[in-house]
Amino acid sequence: MMEAELLRYAGGAVSLIGLGLVMGFSPTLIAVALRVLTHAKRPDRLIAGMLVGLAIGSTALLLVLQFVDPRTLEAALRDDVEGVLVRRSIDLAFGGLFVLAAVIMGTRLHRPRRVRPPRATGTEQPWQMILVGASNAVIGVSGLATMYLTARLIRGISEDDAIRLIAYALFLLATVSPYVLLAWAWQRLPQLARRITAVFHRLAAMDRRPWEFGIVLTIGIIFLGLGVWGTPHPA
């Protein structure tokens, strides 16, 4: 029993790290971070503000999604048949919405990508960077899909709230880790910072739309599958 729990925790931790990196990776935030590091007098404060905003936005999405999680709604129902129907209907609804969103995103892949240059950072304050990070987290279908999958995964890891909190902390750590590494290397290891910056420049210039399309479509298919086959019939 203990080994099964450890395997479940380990698998959940690896999945949350991957989801955190997906949630944190944003060409917009990368471009903003690079501009802050190269132009701002106190880049550490501005980067910290951006990451606080990213964490706040992600947490806000997670809390909102608790109200539409099948297990949360099922807890308000006494009848097992109704509980099964709730789980199936929500999985099917979100799966259908994500697949529909992916189809719309797929139709736009051939269009030229609009590149928006980051704003000037000379007069920005940490509170402004908080807004940048938070808005980047809550705006976009891929972020919503990632956080919905994260919410379901965290609830499935354990019934213990303390373990769920630790699991979410691991997710947030993975989300902000690339920017923390970049800011740390920028100030202390110039040679490493140049290499990381070169990678970040390529990531910022990359067209992320195919990846977002694939993420949203995959998550949609997963929840359609859960709605059709993943929920057992009550005994």
| Sequence spans of domains, the chain | 2-230
Question: 175, 19 in Cβ contact below 8 A?
Answer: no
Q: Determine the pLDDT at residue 196.
A: 75
Task: Assess whether pLDDT exceeds 80 at residue 51.
Answer: yes
Residue 208's H or E segment, with its range, is none
d(CA 26, CA 37): 16
Task: Assess whether pLDDT exceeds 50 at residue 176.
Answer: yes
Residue 16 or 89, more confident: 16
Task: Assess whether pLDDT exceeds 80 at residue 231.
Answer: no
Q: Determine the pLDDT at residue 55.
A: 95
Instruction: Give rounded-to-5 percent helix, strand, coil for the chain.
Output: 80, 0, 20
Q: Determine the pLDDT at residue 156.
A: 81
Q: Determine the pLDDT at residue 80.
A: 47
Residue 215 or 121, more confident: 215
C-alpha closest to that of 204 among 22, 11, 32, 12: 32
Residue 187 or 53, more confident: 53
Q: What percent of the chain has pLDDT over 90?
A: 15
Helices (H) and strands (E) in the chain, counts: 10, 0
**pLDDT single digits (tens) 108-166:** 777 766 655 555 444 468 888 999 999 988 887 778 888 888 888 888 888 888 999 99
d(CA 166, CA 59): 14
Residue 117 or 46, more confident: 46
Q: Determine the pLDDT at residue 234.
A: 41
Q: Determine the pLDDT at residue 81.
A: 43
Task: Assess whether pLDDT exceeds 70 at residue 59.
Answer: yes
Mean pLDDT of all residues belonging to the chain: 77
**pLDDT single digits (tens) 66-105:** 766 545 544 444 444 444 445 667 677 777 877 887 788 7
pTM (2 decimals)? 0.74
Torsion region of 178: left, alpha or beta (phi above 0 gives left; psi -120 to 50 gives alpha): alpha
Which range scores top for mean pLDDT: 45-49, 186-190, 212-216? Answer: 45-49
